[in-house]
Structure 1
């Protein structure tokens, strides 16, 4: 195995939304993508630790935020079906409020994850010359599971 020498770029991330059973489709036109999975750490120190701190991981959460340019059909009558699925989930309740997503390194490197999330939809607005952008926050509902990268050769 050779020693890595190239710096990974932020744009390596790809986000897919499950539109069927399963039918993962690309969320197009992403301009910014960030995710996190912070653990919940609790102090478990006791007198037996002789003054040293001790901690335990007691839980974990995850979220991802994507900003994308809104894409419409050439005749301006429809939006991207994936963008619409996210928007509709943001206004849904129960199972209709959840989406099944996966995100992964588009170059085939091993980092790849899948999970269910609630959706927050926040249009950016802007000046008359601004692009129509939306920021979507995916708040994990259950585990974020490492998966095999779907573009791994």
Structure 2
């Protein structure tokens, strides 16, 4: 009986050790995020800087967490990192914004930016017609998990320069 008891105890301990090894190995290899879910702030900074080189944002105000959620209507949980400036001048409407979306949320972020564009594109005031036209013509571009939105300033360059800058920045 002692041999049987010792045998089952040994088998039980070996089984527990094997289970623990499997569990620890599985936990060690699991990752809750993919490589694309690692924030790349330097890349976003470079994108915004290169676009602002051809589309200056006069009297720039940095887009912060409050602006992101409450002014632009973006869901912060869908975004890993972002960088952007919007004009703080009522006579202008320039904006340069780049966001790194979490895996699986790029289309949602793009849709939210399109809704933001639509909210800026409707007004009853004739004196804002030039800003409405710029907002309607804005660019929203996606490459991989990066979403970029650019509105040319009132006195800014035409969109051919901006389109080239966006393309080069996302290359």
Greater share of residues in helix: 2
Q: TM-score, structure 1 length as denominator?
A: 0.30
Greater share of residues in strand: 1
